[in-house]
Amino acid sequence: MKKYIEDSSQNKNRPIGRFLFTNIYLFVYNKIMQIESVGILISIQPFSERDAIARIFTRDNGVLVGLMRGAIAAQKNKPLVGQVGSVSWNARLDSQLGVFHWESEKNLAAPLMMNNDLLKIMNSVFALIYTLIPERESYERLYERTIDLLQNIAVSQSPFDNYLNWEIDLLRDLGYALDLTKCSGCSKTSDLIYLSPKTGRAVCADCGEPYRDKLYKLPLNLAVTKRFITGICDVQNVDVPVARKIF
């Protein structure tokens, strides 16, 4: 820009409109998009001998995808799945693959590594976020629930129940909120033994009897939430993650 201004001072016949347009263009061209937040590293895949493509689930901006320079070759402070930390994402254009600056603060995966069940839960959480959560859309409540789950399942007496509650939260944030408080047909609050696959609402024994072969059975469990997740995957034209299929 400095060179252009010097040239323009030597050419006084240059139209002022063109000068302004060029300066505006240079300003926009040099403007860099930047997103800053805190997040959890949910996926990292090799891109080259040194760099990786990473996905970070952030508190303020949902899932961000970008290049993490030196992640593969790093000998210390190596980025690892399950780390939480501060993240900065930068790109010149909204459509471009951004570049991450990542500062890890803690690895939530470390306490889970020696327990196969807990490791399966973590892998399923990250796989479902990777598959179903759209990029750069805020899911702050789900983010907080994810952090809470990973911080506490290692000391929980019923980690799969904790995970089931997380999946219920996931379904709610994806627009499939489950209502188990009363019958969708008669508003009865007792004898609720069915769940409608279409509405996600409970159904009592009397109302559900004619349709029992088409309804899911309560109490709610991972087999039932898996059927809802499968339906969402079908709508989005993606496969159910392998990490979730093994439950």
Nearest to 66 by CA among 108, 35, 30: 35
Q: What's the CA gap between 52 and 4, in Å, rounded?
A: 38
Q: Tell me the average pLDDT across 70-82.
A: 91
Q: What's the CA gap between 100 and 42, in Å, rounded?
A: 14
Residue 5: count other Cβ atoms within 10 Å of its Cβ: 11
| Domain 33-107: CATH class, spelled out | mainly beta
> Backbone phi, then psi, for 65, in 5-degree steps?
-120, 135
pLDDT value at position 38? 97
Cα torsion 202, 142, 146, 57 to 10°: value is: 140
- In this predicted model, which residue has the larger pLDDT, 220 or 11? 220
pLDDT value at position 76? 85
Nearest to 104 by CA among 126, 74, 125, 130: 74
Residue type, 14: R
Average pLDDT along the chain: 88
Residue spans of the domains in the chain: they are: 33-107, 111-176+222-245
Q: Sign of the C-alpha dihedral, residues 63, 69, 71, 77?
A: negative
**Residue range 131-175, pLDDT digits in tens:** 999 999 999 999 999 999 999 999 999 999 999 999 999 999 999
For residue 16, pLDDT over 60 is answered with no
**Exposed/middle/buried for 27, CB within 10 Å: 0-12, 13-18, 19+?**
exposed
User: What 3-state class would DSSP assign to 102?
Assistant: strand
